[in-house]
Amino acid sequence: MPLIPADNDFAMWAVMLLLVALVLCLEKTSWGQKISGTIMVITLGALLSNFGIIARSSAVFDSIGSLGVPIAIVLLLCNANLKKIFSESGPTLLAFCFGALGTTLGVIVGVFLLPLGEKTPELAAIFSATFIGGSVNFVAVSNAIGFDDSNLLTASIAADNVVGVLFMVLLIAIPSIQIIAKIYGYDKNSNQYLRTDEGEEKSEEAFSVGRAVFALGFGFLVVGVSGYLAELIGYPSVRLLIVTTITVAAATIGHKTFYKLTEAFPVGLVIMYLFLGMIGAGVDIVAMLESGLLIAVFAIIILTTHLLVILLLGRLFKIGLPEMLVGSNACILGPPTAAAMAGSMGWKTLITPAILCGTFGYAIANFIGLALFGYLGL
């Protein structure tokens, strides 16, 4: 029983908001600037849940995931002018495809290296689906193949969460590794990923409550309309794609107006930090260790192969290190975390490609997972 019960919504909101506030303050310290805010918020969220301060799941987390994330995506994309980012989406999408190939190869390598037992096809299917798409695909594929072994499912979910979070921390840390940065020609002080529209200057006006409220209102409107359209066409799972499409279209057509909404990005980033804190809180290290270390090793083999493939092919095709890392994040962890990583690392021009690539992963992951299940089940 956690110190703060899951049904105490006000207390849960207070803890999560104060957690984000603490991280935002720590980011301004000399040592905090050397550590990504993303890493800090995930780590602190994990510590709070694993030490019994807060619950690993709650209605508050459900709200953050179902409502907060789509709105945050709208806010983060208010400056997404497609005329400027089309040329920058290509490399990230190519990196994502390399990552999907690496995940598939990693699953096959893991299957042949580890004694996974009679449930090998099922494990291959759900891990390929989740590490190309996301949790939505994990659930969809497990239901489609009738995988109902609760122990293995628990171990798989725990491994997916823990190893996935650790992998994200690794992705964030890679640019700071000097030898890798040198090999891939990455300069963290470069303004390449901070470019804005030519001929336009960022507004230096003070934070406007009115513009912030307008941005939030626009976010709620887009998410509401997108949900309605997704239900109307009979595919609720494509809501995020519709959210992205509407926002990017509006930001492109009305870029002179949306470009002035400087408040949208920081507000969206706060919501994304809430989401990342929720991810950290969901990590159950003990459950993973108790339920199946072998499953965790399987996940590690998949992610190691994935990263090696994307780094090698990315180098061969001269893709920038940030594009490779964001494409990898979009593939393994999905659009929200990829967008949050791109934003927190200062790679603003990669936020839209991150979401588009991750959403593409949602679309293809089920097919790849079911194909591997059929192949290995023969």
Domain ranges of the chain: 9-376
Query: Which pair of structure tokens corresponds to residue 146?
Result: 């009738």
Question: 351-368 burial by CB neighbour count: b if 16+ within 10 A, else e?
Answer: bbbbbbbbbbbbeebbeb
Domain 9-376: assigned CATH number: 1.20.1530
What DSSP string describes 251-320?
HHHTHHHHTT-TTHHHHHHHHHHHHHHHHHHT--HHHHHHH-HHHHHHHHHHHHHHHHHHHHHHHHTT--
Task: Tally Cβ neighbours within 10 Å of residue 250.
Answer: 18
What CA–CA distance (Å, rounded) separates 307 from 164?
Answer: 12
pLDDT at 202: 47
What CA–CA distance (Å, rounded) separates 116 from 114?
Answer: 6
Q: pTM here? A: 0.67
pLDDT at 200: 44
What CA–CA distance (Å, rounded) separates 365 from 239?
Answer: 17
Ranges of residues in the chain whose predicted pLDDT is under 50: 196-203
Instruction: List all residues 6 or more positions away from 354 whose beta carbon is below 8 Å from its beta carbon.
Output: 92, 326, 329, 330, 335, 338, 339, 341, 342
Interior CA angle at 34 toward 29 and 35, to 5°? 95
pLDDT at 201: 46
Strand partners, 54: 4
Query: Which pair of structure tokens corresponds to residue 152?
Result: 């293995």
Distance between start and end Cα atoms, the chain: 45
Which percentage of the chain shows pLDDT scores above 70? 89
Q: What is the dihedral of CA 60, 41, 323, 176, to 10 degrees?
A: -170
pLDDT at 378: 61
